[in-house]
Amino acid sequence: MIDLARKKLANDDFEIKGKIYAFDSSTIDLCLSVFWWASFRKTKGGIKLHTLYDITTQIPAFVHITAASVHDVNAMDVIPYETEAYYIFDRGYVDFERLYHITTLSAFFVVRAKANLKFNRMYSNKVNRQSGLICDQIGKLSGFYVSKDYPEKLRRIKFYDAESNRYFVYLTNNMELTAEEVVLLYKNRWQVELFFKWIKQHLKIKAFWGTSENAVRIQIYSAIIAYCLVAIVGKELKIERSTYEILQILGISLLDKTSINELLTNTDYKNIKELNYNQLSLSLS
């Protein structure tokens, strides 16, 4: 179903061409006394939903469910990497041995750097400071162990977001994109966060009907299938409604014999807007 949805929604609208993925995880808390198999802490249970989200199609390309105790970087080992694709990570995924593995596969990554990064600048590229860029540097890692884990050159980009009054430092192995494009890639990482919020709020995976591990997995996979089906319906019928509105209309019209196209087009459903999350501002001029 995921493959079908991605094919249906394939497009070339994004400013940066190619396959672009954001990878992150979301923890689903569970009551340990009920979900005894999902041990997390002494008095708390939970699972993690590790998701590789296709930015261009707005569809999850890969989903991996683990115990909540599994560290995020371990899930990087099961990502089905593709040559020439872009992978966007938050700083919780800074593991230079794993990032170097992406480089050896001729793929690209953009990751937010940690504060204790040891980086030796070799030379700098010119930047447009009016766009918020502070520097665009090429260099190598200088720590003893990390320099062995990632022995090749890296690109370090520092960006100031005026709206939030914060500085962000990004690392990438791509030397061809402009610094503005690298910042734009990371900005779109938030789409996977919106996916997590959307699926938790609207597809009810915070409360489970069954208590076994298999029952929980089935309900999560069912929610993702529903998400893909709704996206396909909206695309095929060219419906000018949000995925949430389509889902709600179908939910209240299960016994209605009206055709889906007419139902989704004519139903006077209250327009509920999705939550807006502050993004980094970036001027490409």
The answer on 226 and 176 residing in a single domain is no
Sign of the alpha-carbon torsion through 248, 249, 250, 254: positive
Q: Which two tokens stand for residue 114?
A: 């940690």
Of the residues 151, 173, 196, the one at which a domain ends: 196
Residue 100 lies in a domain: yes
The answer on 156 and 242 residing in a single domain is no
pLDDT at 206: 66
Among 10-14, 66-70, 255-259, top mean pLDDT goes to 66-70
Average pLDDT over all residues of the chain: 86
Phi/psi at 182 (5° precision): -65, -45
Q: What percent of the chain has pLDDT over 90?
A: 47
Say if CB 176 and CB 18 are below 8 A apart: no
Rounded Cα gap, residues 215 and 209, in angstroms: 8
The answer on 212 and 124 residing in a single domain is no
- CA-based nearest residue to 9, from 227, 261, 218, 191: 227
pTM for the whole thing?
A: 0.84
At residue 275 the predicted structure's pLDDT band, cuts being 50, 70 and 90, is: very low
The answer on 142 and 8 residing in a single domain is yes
Number of domains in the chain: 2
The answer on 120 and 8 residing in a single domain is yes
The answer on 16 and 105 residing in a single domain is yes
pLDDT at 282: 55
**66-81: per-residue pLDDT in tens?**
989 899 999 999 999 9
The answer on 245 and 118 residing in a single domain is no
Of the residues 177, 196, 215, the one at which a domain ends: 196
- CA-based nearest residue to 65, from 220, 269, 185, 270: 220
- Residue ranges of alpha helices (H) inside 95-155 are 96-104, 144-149
Q: Residue 122: pLDDT above 90?
A: yes
Q: What is the CATH number of the domain that holds 31?
A: 3.90.350.10
Rounded Cα gap, residues 56 and 10, in angstroms: 7
pLDDT at 100: 97
Q: Residue 97: pLDDT above 50?
A: yes
- Range of the structural domain that residue 190 is part of: 2-196
**37-74: per-residue pLDDT in tens?**
888 887 788 999 999 999 988 889 999 999 898 999 99
Rounded Cα gap, residues 35 and 28, in angstroms: 12
The answer on 234 and 180 residing in a single domain is no
- CA-based nearest residue to 227, from 57, 99, 38: 57
Residue 18 lies in a domain: yes
Rounded Cα gap, residues 27 and 101, in angstroms: 26
